[in-house]
Amino acid sequence: MAGRLEALAGQHGFRAGRLSVRRQATLWGSASRSGRIQLNVLLAAVPPDLADYVILHELVHTRVRGHGRDFWSELGRLMPDARRRQARLREYSLALF
């Protein structure tokens, strides 16, 4: 996951902060105000394009807090099918793992 985070960060002009990978019960990922990224180890069990969605989603949070219009506009600019990927990710419930 670290390699993919670095690749997506470089591709889209982000500077990734410290990465933490752990099993989380309710979240696929999170980002702190300082740029620290946490990713759920279970991302390894979903298709790579959905893992990329989560990683880029968290990278965008290092620039735009919350899930308002500015956030979705920026994510959509970088990943035009982000909403479709978000819907597909909902098919993978963390409770099933």
Two structure tokens written together for 83: 């909403």
pTM for the whole thing? 0.94
Two structure tokens written together for 32: 């702190």
Q: pLDDT, tens digit, for every residue of 23-70?
A: 998 999 999 878 899 999 999 999 999 999 999 999 999 999 999 999
pLDDT score for 95: 66
User: Do the Cβ atoms of 97 and 90 come closer than 8 Å?
Assistant: no
Interstrand relation of 29-31 and 19-22 (parallel, antiparallel or unpaired): unpaired
Domain ranges of the chain: 2-96
Fold topology of 2-96: Zincin-like (3.30.2010)
Say which residues have a Cβ less than 8 Å from residue 67's Cβ, sequence separation at least 6: none
H helix or E strand, kind and range, residue 29: strand 29-31
* Mean predicted confidence (pLDDT) in 10-16: 92
Amino acid at 24: Q
